[in-house]
Amino acid sequence: MTTVQATFDSVDPATGEVVGTHPIAGPEEVQAAVDRARPAADWWASLGFAGRAERLGRWKAALTRRAHELADVVHAETGKPHADAMLEIILAIDHTAWAAKHARKVLGPHRRSPGLLMANHAATVEYQPLGVVGVIGPWNYPVFTPMGSIAYALAAGNAVVFKPSEYTPAVGRWLADSFAEVVPEQPVFQVVTGLGATGAALCASGVAKIAFTGSPGTGKKIMAACAETLTPVLIEAGGKDALLVDADADIDAAADAAVWGGFSNAGQTCVGVERVYVHERVYDEFVAKVVEKAREVKPGTQIGPITMPAQLDIIRRHIDDAVARGGKALTGGTVGARFVEPTVLVDVPEDAAAVREETFGPTLTVAKVRDMDEAIAKANDTTYGLGGTVFSKSRGMELARRLRSGMVAVNSVISFAGVPSLPFGGSGDSGFGRIHGPEGLREFGRPKAIARQRFRAPLVLTTFARTAKVDERVEKLIKLLHGR
Ligand code: NAD
């Protein structure tokens, strides 16, 4: 008797049309993928940095050649414009290249100073692969976001089992298939498709680490599931990022950044701008420019639909609540059946949902502040701590340091995500751990410390043959070194 595999559909959110049907991997299928990945991980690790970099280089070239094909898949499943899909693919390619090129330098053996007491030793540290890494991804940037874990985990010498979002399974499948074409020898990078339960099965499968990107609520469930087996987790969750506009800022550039940061990808960006705090001296000018620019952004062409239908209710609730509590929508404010008009809200109380909760739609709240101290205090008054933006000619770096977030763009927006050498991640409800950069590579390695004796020390401490005289000398030495 053959059992029928359960399936689910992925749909085009702009039309509701089914664009693909995918298997739901149950616990057995997930376990089988992880079991297949174990020998693949050993083989991949045995290739060394150079062998892996060469293969990742070939994959990167294939992704580049076929980027438009992948962008079509992203467009079909998320509804985002083809050009925006290209943008995230280009960034993912650049990150893959960086991870492959820098893995040896970051993770390979490094000498450490042994210190005076252990001067007869050579001390080294190197990052060894973890084994099989499970990656669980979201739908909003279905290439760029998971690739921040996948490419870095692969470059660090791990095999990967990836559970893409149920909204973008074909994107995940495409990525794994394209990798298998370049690396056909072993299943180094596999995909398991399904709903939340498939992700939960991956957490319970005995992988060496789970790298999760998604909402804080799911992040908590994943951490609880992983606690059962002490499986370490990396959590990249949501945000409520603020943009600060100082009195001396380039107002036109700041308004442009607010509009793009708030409305691109229909606001479905973890590091999208959701709140704006503007110095009172430039508030009126800024608001006028933002509203003018927001009116030019056209849903359907420049921004796509809301990918997840349930999100429409959240966006509507945030706008309605803001307006009911004295706020005004200077433009937009309408939530359609699939699309949301870019919406600029002013005079919204700071405790309204539109200011406190992640909206994940094309909305901005704009508030006037006395000075930048008030802007910092309000921006930091959030349970999230992901990204942020500062527009200021004279105080950009100072204000950036004072924002309680993992990343800040000064006089531009979301720029940190495009710099492969910079770590990406947050704190609080935004999660913990980092993807991208050297820190992102180290997330997927296990530090291995080795102390090698080079010659016998005059004072040997680790022996029962140690004499009272040796103890006396060591005591003298430590007093000399640290006693004053
Ligand atoms: P989500 O939390 O609903 O789902 C994310 C993934 O988790 C999906 O693959 C889903 O199937 C899986 N999942 C659901 N329940 C699970 C469970 N119990 N066990 C294991 N896996 C489970 O998030 P989403 O709606 O896909 O993504 C949007 C969220 O992601 C937003 O909050 C956004 O801010 C955040 N995000 C964060 C970053 C970042 O880097 N910090 C990047 C992109 C998106």
What's the pLDDT tens digit per position in 60-78?
999 999 999 999 999 999 9
Q: Give the pLDDT confidence score for residue 458 in this predicted structure.
A: 83
Question: Across residues 388-412, what is the average pLDDT?
Answer: 98
Span from the CA of 166 to the centroid of ligand 1 (angstroms): 10
pLDDT of residue 237 exceeding 60: yes
Q: Is residue 203 annotated as part of the catalytic site, yes or no?
A: no
Q: Which residues line ligand 1 (CB under 6 A)?
A: 136-141, 145, 163, 165-166, 195-196, 199-200, 203, 213-215, 218, 221-222, 236-239, 270, 358, 360, 386
For 430, other C-beta atoms within 10 Å of its C-beta total 27
Q: At what angle do helices 48-65 and 144-155 cross, to 10 degrees?
A: 150
Residues of the chain above pLDDT 90, percent: 96
Nearest residue (CA) to ligand 1, atom 8? 165
Whether 172 and 139 have beta carbons less than 8 Å apart is answered as no
How confident is residue 2, by pLDDT bands cut at 50, 70 and 90? low
pLDDT of residue 93 exceeding 70: yes
pLDDT of residue 261 exceeding 80: yes
pLDDT of residue 269 exceeding 70: yes
DSSP β-ladder status, 209-213 and 389-391: unpaired
Residues contacting residue 106 through CB under 8 Å, at least 6 positions apart:
127, 438, 441, 442
Nearest residue (CA) to ligand 1, atom 23? 214
Span from the CA of 268 to the centroid of ligand 1 (angstroms): 12
Query: What is the Cα 39 distance to its own chain's centre?
Result: 28
Question: Across residues 124-137, what is the average pLDDT?
Answer: 98
Residues of the chain above pLDDT 70, percent: 99
Instruction: Output 110-114 pairs: Cβ under 8 A, ≥24 positions apart.
Output: 114/451
Looking at ligand 1, which atom is closest to the CA of residue 425?
A: 41
pLDDT of residue 249 exceeding 90: yes
pLDDT of residue 4 exceeding 80: no
Q: Give the mutation target among 195, 212, 215 for probing the ligand 1 site: most ligand atoms within 8 A of CB.
A: 215
Q: Give the pLDDT confidence score for residue 167 in this predicted structure.
A: 97
Q: Which of 88, 270, 358, 443 is catalytic?
A: 270
Residues contacting residue 96 through CB under 8 Å, at least 6 positions apart:
56, 59, 60, 63, 147, 151, 155
Q: How many residues would you count in the chain?
A: 484
Whether 38 and 86 have beta carbons less than 8 Å apart is answered as no
Q: Give the pLDDT confidence score for residue 5 in this predicted structure.
A: 82
Q: Where are the domains of the chain?
A: 7-237+435-446, 241-420, 454-482
Q: Which of 236, 357, 358, 443 is catalytic?
A: 236
Span from the CA of 359 to the centroid of ligand 1 (angstroms): 15
Q: Give the pLDDT confidence score for residue 3 in this predicted structure.
A: 66
Q: How far apart are CA 246 and CA 264, in angstroms?
A: 23
Span from the CA of 46 to the centroid of ligand 1 (angstroms): 33
For residue 391, the SS3 value is strand
Question: Across residues 303-310, what is the average pLDDT?
Answer: 94
Nearest residue (CA) to ligand 1, atom 12? 196
In DSSP terms, 54 is beta-bridged to: none
Q: How far apart are CA 262 and CA 171, in angstroms?
A: 25
Whether 481 and 116 have beta carbons less than 8 Å apart is answered as yes
Single-letter amino acid, residue 153: A
pLDDT of residue 434 exceeding 90: yes
3-state secondary structure 323-367: HHCCCEEEECCCECCCCECCEEEECCCCCCHHHHCCCCCCEEEEE
| Architecture of the domain spanning 7-237+435-446 | 3-Layer(aba) Sandwich (3.40)
Looking at 294-298, 300-304, 320-324, which range is the least confident one? Answer: 300-304
pLDDT of residue 394 exceeding 80: yes
Looking at 128-142, 237-251, 466-480, which range is the least confident one? Answer: 466-480
User: pLDDT: is 461 or 200 the higher one?
Assistant: 200
pLDDT of residue 276 exceeding 90: yes
Q: Is residue 69 annotated as part of the catalytic site, yes or no?
A: no
CATH superfamily of the domain spanning 241-420: Aldehyde Dehydrogenase; Chain A, domain 2 (3.40.309.10)
pLDDT of residue 354 exceeding 90: yes
Q: How far apart are CA 1 and CA 3, in angstroms?
A: 7
Q: Give the pLDDT confidence score for residue 233 in this predicted structure.
A: 98
* pTM, 2 dp: 0.96
Residues contacting residue 296 through CB under 8 Å, at least 6 positions apart:
none
Q: Give the pLDDT confidence score for residue 380 in this predicted structure.
A: 98
Q: Give the pLDDT confidence score for residue 290 in this predicted structure.
A: 98
